[in-house]
Structure 1
Amino acid sequence: MSTVAPASRLTGALLFAAALCAGATVANIYLAQPIIGPIAAAFGSSPQAAGIVVTAGMLGYSAGLLLVVPLGDSLDRRKMVGGLSVLTALLLLGSAAAPSLPVLTLFAGLAAATTVIPQVLIPLVAQLAEPGQRGIAMSWVQAGLLTGIMGSRVFSGQLAGLAGWRWVFAASAALTLIVGLWTMLVMPADGPRGSPNYRALLRSLPGYLRREPALRRACLRHAGIFAAFNTIWTTLALVLTAPPHGLTVGGAGLVGLLGLISAALAPVAGKLVDQRGPRLVAALGLLVLAAAVLLLAAGTNSLALLLVGTAAVPIGMQTSQAANQNAALTVDPSVGGRLNTVFMLATFLAGALGSAVGSFAYGSHGWLGVCASALVFLGLSALGLRRAR
Structure 2
Amino acid sequence: MTEASTGARAGAPSALQHTGGIARSTLILMAIACGLSVAGNYFAQPLVEAIRTDLGLGPTLAGLVVTAAQAGYALGLVFLVPLGDLLERRRLAVILTALTALLLAFTAASSNGMMLLVGTALTGLCSVAAQIVVPYAATLAAPEAKGKAVGTVMSGLLLGILLSRTAAGLLAEAGTWRTVYWINAVLMAIMALALWRALPSLRTPTSLSYAALLRSVATLLRTEPVLRIRCYLGFFSFAAFGVLWTAIGFLLATAPYNWTEAAIGLFGLVGAAGALMAISAGRLADRGHVHWVTGAGALLLALSWIPMAAGTTSLIALLIGVIVLDLAVQAVHISNQNVVYAIRPEARNRLNSAYMTSYFLGGAIGSAVTSSVRVTYGWGGVCAVGALVSVLAFLVWAADRVRARHGGLPAA
Correspondence for 2:320: 308
Relative to structure 1, the CA distance from residue 244 to residue 91 in structure 2 (aligned partners, 3 Å threshold; closer, same or farther) is farther
Give how far 1:203 is off. 0.9
Rounded Cα–Cα distance in structure 2 between residues aligned with 1:236 and 1:100: 31
Aligned residue identity for 2:139: Q
* 1:287 corresponds to which of 299, 308, 311: 299
Which of 179, 194, 200 is residue 191 of structure 2 equivalent to?
Answer: 179
Report what 2:13 is aligned to.
Answer: none
CA–CA distance in 1 between the matches of 2:100 and 2:86?
21
Deviation for aligned residue 1:257: 1.5
Superposition pairs for residues 1-389 of structure 1, below 5 Å?
1-2=1-2, 3-5=4-6, 9-36=21-48, 38-39=50-51, 52-99=64-111, 104-190=116-202, 193-385=205-397, 386-387=399-400, 388=403, 389=407
Judge conservation of contact 1:220–1:383 (CA < 8 Å) in 2. Answer: no
C-alpha separation in 1, matches of 2:128 and 2:61? 26
Structure 2: distance between partners of 1:360 and 1:105: 24
Tell me, yes or no, if the aligned pair for 2:7 and 2:202 is still in contact at 8 Å: no
Aligned-partner Cα distance in 2 for 1:39–1:296: 32
> Could you tell me how far apart the structure 2 residues matched to 1:353 and 1:101 are?
26
Distance in 2, Cα, partners of 1:379 & 1:98: 44
Identity %: 37
Residue 191 and residue 310 in structure 1: after superposition, are their counterparts in 2 closer, same or farther (change >3 A)?
A: closer
Looking at structure 2, the residues matched to 301 and 63 of structure 1 have their Cα atoms a distance apart, in angstroms, of: 41
Distance 1:363 1:96 in 2: 33
The answer on whether the counterparts of 2:149 and 2:282 sit within 8 Å (CA) in structure 1 is yes
After superposition, the Cα gap between the structure-2 partners of 1:352 and 1:101, relative to the gap in structure 1 and judged at 3 Å, is: farther
- Give the deviation of 1:259 after TM superposition: 1.9
State the distance in 1 between where 2:85 and 2:316 align: 47
CA deviations on 1:44-85 (whole Å, 9 max, x unpaired) are 655x98554334333321210111011111112222122112
Q: What is the letter of the counterpart of residue 85 of structure 1? A: T
Please identify, of 323-332 and 369-378, the stretch whose mean Cα deviation from structure 2 is larger: 369-378
Contact 1:54 1:355 in 2 (8 A): no
Whole-Å separation in 2 of the counterparts to 1:209 and 1:192: 20
Q: For the Cα contact (< 8 Å) 2:77–2:128, is it kept in 1?
A: yes
Per-residue Cα deviation, 1:134-193 (whole angstroms, up to 9, x for no partner): 111111111111111222122122223333333222322222222233122211012573
Structure 1 pair 106–277 and aligned structure 2 pair: CA distance change class (3 A): farther
Query: Does the aligned pair in 1 maintain the 2:310–2:318 contact within 8 Å?
Result: yes
Larger deviation: 213-222 or 149-158?
149-158
Letter in 2 for 1:299: G
Q: Is the 8 A contact 1:57 1:108 kept in 2?
A: yes
**What's the CA shift string for 1:121-145, capped at 9, x where partnerless?**
1111112222222111111111111
8 Å CA contact retained: 1:59, 1:352? no
Q: 3-state DSSP class of the match of 1:5?
A: strand
Evaluate the alpha carbon distance shift between residue 119 and residue 334 of structure 1 in structure 2; reply closer, same or farther with a 3 A threshold. Answer: same
| Residue range with higher mean Cα deviation, 260-269 or 236-245 | 236-245
Deviation at 1:214, TM superposition (A): 0.8
TM-score norm. by structure 1 comes to 0.90
Find the aligned partners of 1:273 and 1:349 in 2 and give their Cα distance.
25
**Residue identity in the other structure for 2:172:** A
Question: Structure 2: which amino acid aligns with 1:189?
Answer: S
* RMSD over aligned Cα atoms: 2.5
Question: Take 1:178 and 1:234, find their aligned partners in 2: how far apart are those partners?
Answer: 32
- Looking at structure 2, the residues matched to 138 and 356 of structure 1 have their Cα atoms a distance apart, in angstroms, of 29
CA deviations 1:190-243 (Å, max 9, x no partner) are 257334211011011111111111111111001111111012213333332333
| Separation of aligned partners in 1, 2:334 and 2:63 | 28
Structure 2: 5+ residue stretches without partners: 9-15, 408-412
- Report the CA distance between 1:315 and its aligned residue: 1.1
The CA deviation string for residues 8-60 of structure 1, in whole angstroms up to 9 with x for no partner, is: 542223212211111111212222333445456665655x9855433433332
Residue 98 of structure 1: how far off its partner (Å)? 4.1
Does the 8 Å contact 1:143/1:264 carry over to 2? yes
